[in-house]
Each structure stands twice: as C-alpha cells, then as structure tokens.
Structure 1
C-alpha cells in the first residue's frame, strides 16, 4: 500500500530535497581542481573561442582568485598551470599573466559577496543570439534555472579591459546569476564553481534552443508561477553538485591530465 499518493506536491518536493541532502555527497575536489575541470567541461561543451573567455573562482585569501594563464586554451588548462591573482591581476602564484579582461571579474566580486565563481565565454549559439541583440528567453524546463535570472546588456561597451567595462557589466548583471552581453557573449555569476559551470552549460543550450524555436515560429512564454517553481527546484546546491559531478566524470575520462600537479 503506497504511503505517498495522497501527499501534496510541496511535501513530495521537500522530501526529495531532504533525500538529496543525504544521498548526494559533497565533492572532495579543491576549488582549484574544480576550476581546471570547468575549463575542460566547457571546452567540450563548445565554449572555446580561441583564447577568449575567462573562468575565475575566489581563492582562500580575501581579494584573490584563481584563473587561467593567458595564452592557454580551455583544453590546455590543468590544476598545475592555473594562476592565483589579486584584484589588480598581479600574479601571486604561478607563471605567466592573467587575461587583462579579468578586470571586470574583480568588479563583480567586489559588488557581489554571494558570487564565488565567474564564467565568461563566447559559445557559438550564445554569440549568435548576442549578434541579434536579443535577450535570452527561458521557455523550456531544462533551462529553468535561468528563468528571470539572466539579465541583458543591449549596448556593447567594447573590449572589457577597462574599469568602465567593469562598472557597466556589473551594473547590468545586478543581482542575477547571468547576463547576456550583446555582440559579445555571456557572464555567469555562481554561488560556487559547480553552479557556475552548470549554468554556463545551460545558457549555451538555452541559446541554441531559442534560435531553433525562433526559426520555426513564435516562442510561447512559460506560466510564471510554474517557471519560478521550476527555477527554485532546479537551482539548488545539491542539484548543481550532482550536475558538476557528472560533467567532471566525463571530463576526467576524456582528459586524464586535467588534475596534473606538474
């Protein structure tokens, strides 16, 4: 005899969340290892654009973060060749220099203490949507974590190496998890590396779906109440951890060198 068929949806969701907290284990990976894995995960997901794009995550000391070395592609990043930099992009540990465009990351970190990882890439479908000066439209369940959580910057400020671009991008992002940058790409501002990586994968899928749907007809909006419910259900730390663990297993199988210490 079933004991749950008369339970409300809210009760079933709460029970599932509690079960996930028990059964989905926290990662034993370091932040540095997660950043290196994110570079490989996103490369495999089509986020490479030559040497463009940056992935950063707050490090242990306040005002410092990990990022990749300028001159290396996402597919070349390992745990060992990541840099530790301060807010002025001075290298504190590692060889080489950071991408000068990392400056706007420093602005976001200062403005958003809730953000611990930033992903900025130019994936193909996001870039195509950006060329149309069209905001991301979330109208499918898989992309629900970005529902009402992706801002839009309609004016391209140019190459983001100045403090002006830091101010502009940070203001456009506001309190959202993401921002689509016209004529550019996207920025994800995650609570952690797992969340940022998961949302970066999703925003490219969302842009691909949107372009396909736009070519076939008019996109129908999601019912707001249900869309917000789906957003809150899918955007939880445990869901992000599970997503990232899956992506990491795939990356480790394909890129045995990613956690190399030398």
Structure 2
C-alpha cells in the first residue's frame, strides 16, 4: 500500500534529497581530472572559441589555483598539462604560461572566499546575446539554477588582462554565481568544480533559449516564489554532483585521453 500519496510537496522534496545523498553513485576524481573533464565536456557543448576562455580551481595552498596552459584549446586539456599558479600567474607547477586574462580570476577569488572554481568562456549563443546589451532572462525550468543568480555587466571593460578589469568584473559579479559580460561572454563560479561545470552548461543553454524566445515574442516571467523554489532544488550540491557525473562520463566516451 502506498505511503507517500498524502505527503506534502516539501516532505517529498526533502525525502528525494535524502535519497540522492545516499543512493546516487559517484565516481571519485581528483580536481585536476575534474577540470580536464569539464574542459572536454564544455568543448563538446560549443564553449570552444579558439584559445579564448579560462577555467580554474583553487589549489591546496592559499592564493594558488589550477588552470590551463595558454596555447591549448579546451579539447587539448588533460589532467597532466594543467598548471598550478599563484595570484600573480607565476607558474608553480607545470610547463608554459597561464593566460594573462586569468588575472581577473585572482580578483574573484579574493572577493569571494566561497568560490572554489571559475569558468569563463565565449560560447556562441552567450556571445550573441552579449552583443545586444541585455541581461540574461531566466524563464524556463531547466535553467532555474540561474534564477536571480546571474549578474550583468553592460559596459565592456576591454581585454581583461589588467587589474582594472579584475576589479570591475569581481564587483559586478557581486554575490551571484554567474554574470553575462556584454560584448564578451560569460563567467560562472561555484563552491565546487561540479557546480561551476553545471552552471556553465546551463548559461549557454539559457542564452540560446532566450534568443529563440525573443525572436518569437515577449518573454513571460516566472512566478518568483516558484522560481526560487526551482533554483534551490536544482542547484542542490547533490544535483550538481549528479549533473557533473553525467557530463564527465560523456566526455570520457568522446575524449578518453583527458585523464
């Protein structure tokens, strides 16, 4: 006999979260492996733009982070060719140099102790939307993790290799997990690599949906209470882990050399 048909929505949500924590299978990867798999997964989803874009994750030592080597595309990143750098982008481990644009990562990490991973890319639909100088509009359930969690920088500060750009971008991001950069691209941050990877996938989908919807008519807003509920439900840590596990498995099928 059923025992859940009379339960309220919140009770069912709490029960489902508990089941996800105990029953979802998780493959254990190192941070280097997670970063490499994220690069390959995002490459497959159109986040490649030549050598543009950076991914980073905090290192074990304070004021250090892992990032990719300048000169390699996202489809060439492996767990072995990542660099460990300090705030000034001096290479502590690995060969080559970091992208000079990684400087604004240092500013974000300083401003946001809660952030452990940063992903900045120029995917096609995000880049197209950025040219219109309009904020991201979240009005569909799949992209609810970005609801009221995506900032907007309308004034393009130019190539982000100076400290000025780091100050501007980190201030504009504020306490959000994402930001649409006009005439530029996107930036997402996460408490974990898994969370940032999930948000990077979603923001490109969100931009594509918005462009399609704008071409057909006026976008209707979500009811705020339900949108916040969906945001919290779809952005729970275990959901981010499950999303990442799928993206990583798919990336490994296409790119077995990543790790």
Q: Can you give the 5+ residue segments of structure 1 that lack an aligned partner in the other structure?
A: none
The whole-number CA distance in structure 1 between the counterparts of 2:214 and 2:35 is 34
Which runs of structure 2 are paired with 1:74-113 in the superposition (5 Å)? 74-113=74-113
Which runs of structure 2 are paired with 1:231-250 in the superposition (5 Å)? 231-250=231-250
The whole-number CA distance in structure 2 between the counterparts of 1:36 and 1:104 is 21
Q: Is the 8 A contact 2:48 2:73 kept in 1?
A: yes
Shift of the alpha carbon at 1:45?
0.5
2:254 counterpart of 1:254: yes
Q: Secondary structure at the match of 1:179?
A: strand
Q: Secondary structure at the match of 1:47?
A: coil
The whole-number CA distance in structure 1 between the counterparts of 2:104 and 2:138 is 26
Q: Secondary structure at the match of 1:250?
A: helix
Give the structure 2 partner of residue 186 of structure 1.
Answer: 186
Q: Provide the aligned length of Structure 1 versus Structure 2.
A: 259
Give the structure 2 partner of residue 20 of structure 1.
Answer: 20
Instruction: Give TM-score scaled by structure 1 length.
Output: 0.98
The whole-number CA distance in structure 2 between the counterparts of 1:66 and 1:185 is 21
The whole-number CA distance in structure 2 between the counterparts of 1:251 and 1:15 is 31
Give the structure 2 partner of residue 218 of structure 1.
Answer: 218
Give the structure 1 partner of residue 203 of structure 2.
Answer: 203
The whole-number CA distance in structure 1 between the counterparts of 2:41 and 2:62 is 27
Give the structure 1 partner of residue 135 of structure 2.
Answer: 135
The whole-number CA distance in structure 1 between the counterparts of 2:2 and 2:28 is 37
Instruction: Give TM-score scaled by structure 2 length.
Output: 0.99
Q: Secondary structure at the match of 1:257?
A: coil
Q: Is the 8 A contact 1:177 1:188 kept in 2?
A: yes
Give the structure 1 partner of residue 29 of structure 2.
Answer: 29
Q: Is the 8 A contact 1:149 1:178 kept in 2?
A: yes
Q: Can you give the 5+ residue segments of structure 2 that lack an aligned partner in the other structure?
A: none
Q: CA RMSD in A?
A: 0.6
The whole-number CA distance in structure 2 between the counterparts of 1:208 and 1:47 is 13
Q: Secondary structure at the match of 1:12?
A: helix
What does the per-residue CA deviation read over 1:47-75, in whole Å, with 9 as the maximum and x for residues that have no partner? 00000000000111111111000000000
The whole-number CA distance in structure 2 between the counterparts of 1:136 and 1:148 is 10
Give the structure 2 partner of residue 50 of structure 1.
Answer: 50
2:115 counterpart of 1:123: no
The whole-number CA distance in structure 2 between the counterparts of 1:243 and 1:62 is 28
